[in-house]
Amino acid sequence: MNRREFLAAPAAALAVPQAAAAPPNIVFILADDLGYGDTGPYGQRRIRTPHLDRMAAEGTRFTQAYSGSTVCAPSRCTLMTGKHTGHATVRGNVKPEAGLAAGETTVAGLLHGAGYRTALFGKWGLGGPGTGSVPNTRGFDEFYGYLDQQHAHNSYPEHLWDNQNEVMLTRNWFNQRQVYSNDEFTARALGFLERQGGAPFFLYLAYTIPHADNELGALTGDGIECPTEEPYQAEPWPARERKFAASITRMDRDIGRLFDVLRRKGLDGNTLVIFTSDNGPHKEGGHDPAFFASSGPLRGTKRDLYEGGIRVPAIARWPGRVPAGATSDFIWAFWDFLPAAAELAGVPAPAGLDGISVVDGLTGKTRRNRRTLYWEFHERGFHQAVRRDNWKLVRQGPAGRAELYDLAADLGETRDLAADRPAVVGELAPLLQSSRTESARFPVRKG
């Protein structure tokens, strides 16, 4: 072929096959009991979160993201398994701690099978030693942190788990309080990122900030733990509120350090980072969630099925893929994470999930969607909530009266419309039964 023929040749005939895009790295950062209004991107003005502010400016802030439950263990179960609390194996916080079912697929196991390096640093809460349900048996190559959620109340523990080995933190013995667990989780996460290159990775960083030490709080009235009160030491606030704010700002600082490593190593452009919280804000350890307006415009807190207990801050960042500086009202929940991760990894999600892939929503291809979401809560009796589109039905107890709210017109759930809209109640009420199966481990209890 001469030069003239070459220039005239159809482009299709000369096209070189392009290699398939490499699956993205995934970093999922989970705060513990962080309220919808506790960070700058969601209206907080007294607690400083400059790195989350930047993350939101470089990514998308979701205003209708939901946790899996209003307390810890079931929320994390939905995140790991893609099943909501009507079908999840762990539906509540119980002792001894409940583990996942034998052979149950987790997002870590799925990604590990797809060639990802997987790591969890922080709080597991889905099974302790001898249960067969610890991170290393559920798809994580590396684990460092707490197995038990009650153990995780203490941010200065005397021991942690390094994979399946118990390691002693002697510098915390005899109430020395020299090793702050969340600093350890950040250090492990930074080390993990430093070692990456080549194969894709999944990092699940599960901080215990700003959860309280409930046992310490019961003894002293102040169960909020943080190594310093900086930068709030001069604020005329109660000491526990200075430490509450300081712990969030400390976590924010460390998230900034993670982004620094991703940028320096050239991993930034192909890494999806999601930041969110496992449920709404707590009122434990002496902390008052009203002090910083932790629920923002929402009604309720942790252990409520009103929006303040389950609607959570959620920011996604992935340069070039997730729209920068955007706010999205796309609806998604924790149980959507597994099928989304499966799509990103290019592998099928298991059958029988409640979640759906929300990759198009995370990347801005779909901005508005219609969903039916379900929650149940087994403490203080049995409570349920279902959302379909903008309607939300809440029932307090098996025989409780249904409350109906229009979230589009009444975000704070201040006006119960059940008496005014019986047809809507009639449409949603059957979902309280059809959305769930019975669980021998979590039977429905009255009262």
Q: Are 63 and 328 in contact (CB under 8 A)?
A: yes
- Are residues 174 and 150 located together in one domain of the fold? yes
- Give the CATH number, domain containing residue 358: 3.40.720.10
Q: Are 378 and 73 in contact (CB under 8 A)?
A: no
Give residue 426's pLDDT: 97
Q: Pick from 194, 189, 159: which is nearest to 173 by CA?
A: 159
139 phi/psi in degrees, rounded to 5? 105, -5
- Are residues 307 and 408 located together in one domain of the fold? no
Number of folded domains that form the chain: 2
Give residue 390's pLDDT: 97
> In a 3-state reduction of DSSP, which class is residue 183?
helix
Give domain status of residue 18, yes or no. Answer: no
- Are residues 163 and 83 located together in one domain of the fold? yes
Q: Are 202 and 25 in contact (CB under 8 A)?
A: yes
DSSP 413-443: -----TTT-HHHHHHHTTHHHHT----SSS-
- Are residues 252 and 389 located together in one domain of the fold? no
Amino acid sitting at position 383: H
Give residue 1's pLDDT: 43
Distance of CA 411 to the CA centre of its chain: 21
Give residue 137's pLDDT: 96
- How many Å apart are CA 446 and CA 426, to the nearest integer? 23
- Are residues 199 and 343 located together in one domain of the fold? yes
204 phi/psi in degrees, rounded to 5? -110, 110
Domain containing 33 equals 25-367
- Are residues 63 and 128 located together in one domain of the fold? yes
- Give the CATH number, domain containing residue 420: 3.30.1120.10
Cβ contacts of 436 within 8 Å, gap of 6 or more:
85, 86, 87, 374, 376
Q: Which two tokens stand for residue 8?
A: 């005239």
- Are residues 388 and 347 located together in one domain of the fold? no
The CA-based diameter of the chain, rounded to the nearest angstrom, is 88
- Are residues 150 and 283 located together in one domain of the fold? yes
Cα–Cα distances (Å) from 359 to 56, 75, 152, 447, in that order, read: 18, 20, 32, 40
* CB-facing half-sphere around the CA of 400: CA atoms within 13 A: 19
Per-residue pLDDT of the chain (447 residues; tens, 9 = 90+): 443 443 344 433 334 444 467 999 999 999 999 999 999 999 999 999 999 999 999 999 999 999 999 999 999 999 999 999 999 999 999 887 789 999 999 999 999 999 999 999 999 999 999 899 999 999 999 999 999 999 999 999 999 999 999 999 999 999 999 999 999 999 999 999 999 988 999 999 999 999 999 999 999 999 999 999 999 999 999 999 999 999 999 999 999 999 999 999 999 999 999 999 999 999 999 999 999 999 999 999 999 999 999 999 999 999 999 999 999 999 999 999 999 999 999 999 999 999 999 999 999 999 878 899 999 999 888 999 999 999 999 999 888 899 999 999 999 999 999 999 999 999 999 999 999 999 999 999 765
- Are residues 333 and 199 located together in one domain of the fold? yes
